[in-house]
A and B are shown apart, each in its own frame.
Chain A
């Protein structure tokens, strides 16, 4: 009981436990981004080919995401937006903010706690779906497809 109470209140053991989770996730993300930043995905094939693109010729919502991450890491935001606007505007900043928030909370900085409304989740997923459809239309492909 006391051990759990100390874990909850951020006692010596609890503080380490809370701190280690965001640190692990940040290290994994940083490692992946670092790997991409060192291997230009515009010219190098980092992974086996995309099955959706090679069989049906459809861009999935993540297509161009690796190139966008590379571009952001190198400061080329215009190219990142061209490669994948959704990842550039709605995945990378949200993930960075969420990691920063998690970290600050874990080390005891008093950050505001915010309850995610359910409608926002559906709006986000709806935007993802709309992005997927629009980037495969001839009209919007010049702006949204990699």
Chain B
């Protein structure tokens, strides 16, 4: 009496996150770039641009990695976001140092 063969095991489900969808992480470069440019404009405002610069540089870095993994197609934008984020952070740091040393000399009636 022959035994009924067991049904073949179900094929393992394709891992969803494993698939690299080209362009699915393009937002990182674009958002990073917007943050970095905002950071340059805000660097003068008591160095508050440093907050945006951090976000822009991190997103630029992640976007570059995503582009290398085939998940993004805008490596140039991410690279620009990364570099500009670092530039903005440096500018902000200079303004923060100026603010620490020049606070007393500041003209409180100046306008923006």
On A, residues with C-beta under 8 Å from B are 1, 4, 41-42, 45-56, 60-67, 91, 115-118, 121-122, 124-125, 128, 146
Cα(A117)–Cα(B30), bound, Å: 12
Q: Given known contacts A51-B102, A54-B107, A63-B44, is B77 in contact with A46 (CB within 8 Å)?
A: no
Q: Which chain B residues lie closer than 8 Å to A54 at the CB level?
A: 102, 105-107, 110
Q: How many residues of B contact A (CB 8 A)?
A: 32
Q: Find chain A residues with CB under 8 A from B98 CB.
A: 51-52, 55-56
User: Does the CB pair B77–A121 fall under 8 Å?
Assistant: yes
In the complex, are the beta carbons of B45 and A49 less than 8 A apart?
no
Determine whether the beta carbon of A52 is less than 8 Å from that of B44: yes
With a cutoff of 8 Å between Cβ atoms, the chain A residues found around residue B80 in the complex are 118, 121-122, 125
On B, residues with C-beta under 8 Å from A are 16, 30, 33, 37, 40-47, 74, 76-77, 79-80, 84, 95, 98-99, 101-103, 105-112
Residues of chain B lying within 8 A (CB to CB) of residue A122: 80
CA distance A74 to B23 in the complex (A): 41
Q: Which of A1, A45, A146 contacts B16 (CB 8 A)?
A: A1
Set B33, B106, B112: member contacting A51, Cβ < 8 A: B106
Decide if B84 touches A50 in the complex (CB within 8 Å): no
How long is the Cα–Cα vector from A55 to B100 in the complex, in angstroms?
10
CA distance A13 to B28 in the complex (A): 23
